[in-house]
Amino acid sequence: MSQKRTRRIRDDSDDDYRAGSSSQRIKTDPTTTNWDADAFQRKVNDTVRYALACEYKRTPIRRDEVNKKILQERSRDFNRVQQAANRKLQHLFGLEMVDLLPKEKPSLDKNKSTTKPTSTIKSYILCNTLSNEVRTPELIHRSDEEYHNTGLLYVILSLIFTNEQIMSEMDLTEHLDRLGVTDESRAFGDREKVLDSFVKQNYLTRDKVAGDQQNETTREYYWGPRARAEITDEDIIGFITSVYGSDTNEESMKDNILKAAGFDMR
């Protein structure tokens, strides 16, 4: 997970950003808007604030909300404002606004579409663009709760990934029980609430599925849109192999992980 950020952006505190190269400065196009440079910059700053507030709460950045609350009658200029806000987010915070992918259930049949019907409303999330060299505990500070939840999230994503990328609630519960992640756990508290928070933040998708018995339904988990946007297959494979230490054959381990994930390794 990216770090929670509470730093406020002030219109008069962007000296470093404004003093950069001309390619970083915001320029208006009189053919598409009657805003002056200052008015346009205020809209960009407001969009950056809104994006950071959404990231702090781990909620999607919704295009319709930007249009309604910030751009109002100038909604046709969304793309220009969004692009300028994205440049500012990258320059000041090392964050990038990217499309929030639709919820998609994994399928081993690559020719079969599994994308769920979704809203036509465009949504985004912020992803960290900083290099791994500077993403260290010494430079980026997190609370113990954040570290605990991030570790648990990666464990859950790893379990799902190595179960052909989808897992029943019963299987996930059994794994978490063996790991000591129960409602009595001091580190995590109510387990169901933690899972609910991961679902709400779009790290996990939870679906109801028909059970074996009549009228019985169960639930299953797979990676949510935010997890797919923030975490690559290589990232999760690297996390899993790191758990086993340096004594294992890394290439053999990677092959086994990919096979467990349902990939054809022939």
pLDDT of 15: 45
- Check whether 8 has a pLDDT greater than 70: no
Tokens at 84, concatenated: 């300028």
Query: How large is the average pLDDT for residues 223-245?
Result: 90
DSSP β-bridge partners for residue 209: 218
pLDDT at 7: 41
The torsion of the CA quartet 216, 221, 225, 229, rounded to 10 degrees, works out to -170
To the question of pTM greater than 0.85 for the whole model, the response is no
What is the C-alpha to C-alpha distance for residues 70 and 75, in angstroms, rounded to an integer? 9
Structure-block tokens of residue 132: 């791994």
Element (H, E) at 127: strand 123-128
- Check residue 69 and report its DSSP letter: I
Is residue 158 classed exposed, middle or buried when 0-12, 13-18 and 19+ CB atoms within 10 A define those classes?
middle
The residue-averaged pLDDT of 108-132 equals 67
| Phi and psi, residue 221, nearest 5° | -120, 145
- Is residue 187 over pLDDT 60? yes
User: What was the pLDDT predicted at 43?
Assistant: 95
CA atoms within 13 A on the CB side of 19: 5
- Token reading at 26: 């915001």
pLDDT band at 104 (very low <50, low <70, confident <90, very high): confident
For position 81, what pLDDT does the model report?
96
3 state SS of 91? helix
Q: Which residues contact 85 (CB under 8 A, 6 or more apart)?
A: 44, 47, 48, 51, 97
CB 114 within 8 Å of CB 105? yes
Q: Which residue has the higher pLDDT, 217 or 45?
A: 45
Give the mean model confidence (pLDDT) for residues 157-172.
Answer: 95
